[in-house]
Amino acid sequence: MKPIIFAGLLLAVPAYGAPIAMEDQSQLQSPAAHPAVARFQPPQESELPDNAYGKMVRQGYALFVDTKRLAPQYVGNGLNCSNCHLDQGRLANSAPLWAAYPMYPAYRKKNDKVNTFAERLQGCFQFSMNGGLPPAADSPEITALSVYAYWLAGKAPLGVELPGRGYPDVAQPANGYNVAHGAEVYNAQCATCHGAEGQGQKVGDSFVMPPLWGKDSYNWGAGMHRINTAASFIKHNMPLGQAGSLSDQQAWDVAAYVNSHERPQDPRLVEGSIEKTRQKFHANDGVNLYGQTVNGVLIGQGIR
Ligand code: HEC
Ligand code: HEC
């Protein structure tokens, strides 16, 4: 199967439209419509300068889309950053980098401190990439990824939440979620690409379809292990090419099915105890199944 490449050009609209004629400039007085906020578009590769900065942007881009191959020492699973931040970190509602960069430093409940952008990247290495000790804040990897994000953010305003940031919340349906119904959605709409066992698909050593559970997936500490976060990602981004086609109920059900399967252990495991880890890190972390028993099986045992 050919890897699917996003047609980034189809989404490309110039950031600031055509120049406005002199006689029209009075219209710029209105403070309400700030074009950068209303419809932010990251720059195109063709706009990159041919200098040391442009070279660093390209390195960051390469690391973002080919993380496993270019930074194997920091990736403990089969994923690349762009598997969850689609279209090279450009796609709105897919936690795009251009919306993230201007929002840091920021307090995060997850580690109860103010995080720099570098620390935020380290978090995705540690949990989403199951990478063990993440690259240092001043490492070439974090520098290149930060420069790439800075470039994508372009003229975005600092500290302003842009539309399209993150994976917009999909509220839990009134009747909750149903893992068995999720299995039906999965088998009908996801398994062709992600595999009957959530194992993804490989060509040679590389995944062309990313795994959703098992040893090559994100670990139990990753944001995607929350059913609410996975439901939001899935609703806005999956099935690939048909984003938005699932009902909220289907998105929640299939997210619960995916996240009821084993994956690598939470690296923050407290004294080897799933229950202590659940109490400390999962009891107040959205909706998740870590440390709970489903159909007689304890979830969160981890897998290598
Ligand atoms: C398994 C999916 C997954 C992978 C792989 C992944 N991330 Fe993330 N990332 C997430 C989730 C989930 C969030 C939290 C989004 C939210 O809170 O809405 C996130 C958040 C972020 C944010 C902050 C977004 C914001 O708006 O504050 C950045 C920056 C980021 N990731 C960068 C990376 C980088 C760099 C990599 C690769 C080293 C990576 N991610 C790999 C799932 C992933
Ligand atoms: C046409 C193939 C295809 C279908 C169908 C599909 N996906 Fe995906 N999915 C992908 C690809 C490819 C990516 C990675 C995107 C990228 O790298 O640009 C992905 C990424 C993901 C991710 C984040 C990365 C990871 O491995 O954790 C999740 C979660 C996910 N899909 C869930 C689903 C669910 C649930 C369904 C069914 C409702 C589904 N997908 C249907 C191809 C597909």
Ligand 1 centre to CA of 124 (Å) is: 5
Say yes or no to pLDDT of 62 above 80. yes
Cα 172 from chain centroid (whole Å): 20
Residue linked to tokens 């978090």? 123
Is the bond leading into 239 cis (omega within 30 degrees of zero)? yes
Q: In this structure, are residues 89 and 96 in contact, taking their beta carbons and an 8 Å threshold?
A: yes
Tell me how far apart the alpha carbons of residues 199 and 215 are, in angstroms, rounded to a whole number: 9
pLDDT digits (tens, 9 = 90+) for 95-115: 999 999 999 999 999 999 999
Substitution candidate for ligand 2 out of 238, 246, 249, 250 with most atoms within 8 A of CB: 238
Tokens of 199: 């194992």
pLDDT digits (tens, 9 = 90+) for 194-230: 999 999 999 999 999 999 999 999 999 999 999 999 9
SS3 207: strand
SS3 107: strand
Q: In this structure, are residues 218 and 77 in contact, taking their beta carbons and an 8 Å threshold?
A: yes
Report pLDDT for 304: 87
Q: In this structure, are residues 160 and 102 in contact, taking their beta carbons and an 8 Å threshold?
A: yes
pLDDT band at 38; cut points 50, 70, 90: low
Query: From the CB of 127, is ligand 1 less than 6 Å away?
Result: no
Task: Of 126, 119, 139, 137, give the one whose Cα is nearest residue 75.
Answer: 126
Tell me how far apart the alpha carbons of residues 212 and 214 are, in angstroms, rounded to a whole number: 7
Pick the more confident residue, 6 or 200.
200
Report pLDDT for 19: 38
Give the residue ranges of DSSP H helices in the chain: 35-38, 52-65, 67-70, 86-89, 97-100, 117-123, 140-153, 179-189, 191-194, 227-237, 248-258, 274-277
Which amino acid is present at 130?
N
Task: Of 117, 119, 172, 107, give the one whose Cα is nearest residue 146.
Answer: 117
Say yes or no to pLDDT of 233 above 50. yes
Pick the more confident residue, 24 or 171.
171
Question: Which residues have a Cβ under 8 Å from the Cβ of 61 and sit 6 or more positions away?
Answer: 45, 88, 148
Q: Which atom of ligand 2 is nearest to the CA of 186?
A: 37
pLDDT band at 37; cut points 50, 70, 90: very low
Nearest CA to ligand 1 atom 25: 100
Domains in the chain (CATH in brackets) are 31-152 (1.10.760.10), 179-298 (1.10.760.10)
Q: Looking at residue 273, what DSSP letter applies?
A: B
